[in-house]
Amino acid sequence: MKDIAAIGASTIELLTHAALDAELVTTQVQRALDEDLLYGPDVTTSSTVPTGQSVTAAFVSRKGGVVSGLPVVAVALDLVVGPDNWRVSHMMTDADALAPGDEALTIEAPTVALLTAERTALNFLCHLSGVATLTAKWVSAVAGTRVRVRDTRKTTPGMRVLEKYAVRCGGGMNHRMGLGDAALVKDNHVVAAGGVAAAVHAVRAAAPSISLEVECDSLTQVQQAVAADVELVLLDNMSVNELSEVVQWVRATAPQTKLEASGGLTLDTVAAVAGTGVDYVAVGALTHSAPTLDIGLDVRAVLGDVETGVSGV
């Protein structure tokens, strides 16, 4: 297992700019590389590619979308190719729009190492770009309203930080990152505590400094949450008519209270939900149902022997 020392300064800079923890991403990418090499070295590449060959190659989008994950690709290349053995001639910026045929990243690198890293790099890039692309569609669907699109904790195990980063690239907002950075009182907590007020009191007594949100599925529960001075209410699986009724009551009674709609939302219905006047929509589909964006690695030219000492990003 390689550590953060294997990552070049330029890649660290990319990760820092993206607000991604370099050690966490390096560990995650190394784990993915180890999975690909679990049964031995890349026999196909090592047996077909001449020793010492280098190429120009591009990560090319086959479809339109939003790019996300280029710093992660850089980590994969640093770990396999080495930070001093590949060079960038073109790189887009995460959150940029991609058209079919666009080159998100074009590099020169040793062929053997590049092809060994290819699948791992593309797995991250395609998935994260898919999350960003889907998020951008939801953001576009509520454009012109007060609503902000937020993600949930319905993420791929082990991929939460990167998937939530991709949501930001698509123009969305992150909800809580885990169970400890904010409190969300859901229906099971209400039942276990003996009611909305009791659950709110218990959370505030245990963790008075963290933000608190309460899930409600009726106007009655919303009224109980507002009476407990909850700053954010999650309106779960309500119809547009029910949402409108709740929004009207809350705006008249406690206008400082923020409202978030969740459950059963689709791209076709979210505009109507946004029109009720809620502040946020929580969309688990951003991460649990995002299709990958089709991006491939295309070798553009064979360059011959690898030059030593070329820089990375």
Q: Which residues contact 138 (CB under 8 A, 6 or more apart)?
A: 149, 170, 172, 267, 270, 281, 283, 286
**Residue 186 exposed, middle or buried by CB count within 10 Å (0-12, 13-18, 19+):** middle
Catalytic position from the list 42, 94, 151, 236: 236
Q: Are 281 and 274 a contacting pair, CB within 8 Å?
A: yes
- Given a contact cutoff of 8 angstroms between Cβ atoms, the answer to whether 261 and 214 are in contact is no
**In this structure, what token pair is assigned to residue 17?**
């700019």
Catalytic pick among 63, 87, 154, 160: 154
Active site residue 236: yes
Strand-pair partners of 56: 108, 301
- H helices of the chain, where? 9-17, 22-36, 43-48, 70-80, 111-141, 160-169, 187-193, 196-206, 219-227, 240-253, 270-274, 285-288
Catalytic residue chosen out of the listed positions 103, 108, 213, 215? 215
The active-site residue, picked from 87, 186, 204, 258, is: 186
Helices 196-206 and 219-227: angle between axes, nearest 10 degrees: 40
Output the six-digit token pair for 23. Answer: 């050690």
Which position among 62, 87, 119, 258 bears the catalytic label? 119
- The yes-or-no answer on residue 154 being catalytic is yes
In 10 A of CB 227, how many CB atoms?
Answer: 13
Q: Which of 89, 136, 75, 138 is nearest to 293 (CA)?
A: 136
137 is catalytic: no
> Catalytic residues, which ones?
119, 154, 186, 215, 236
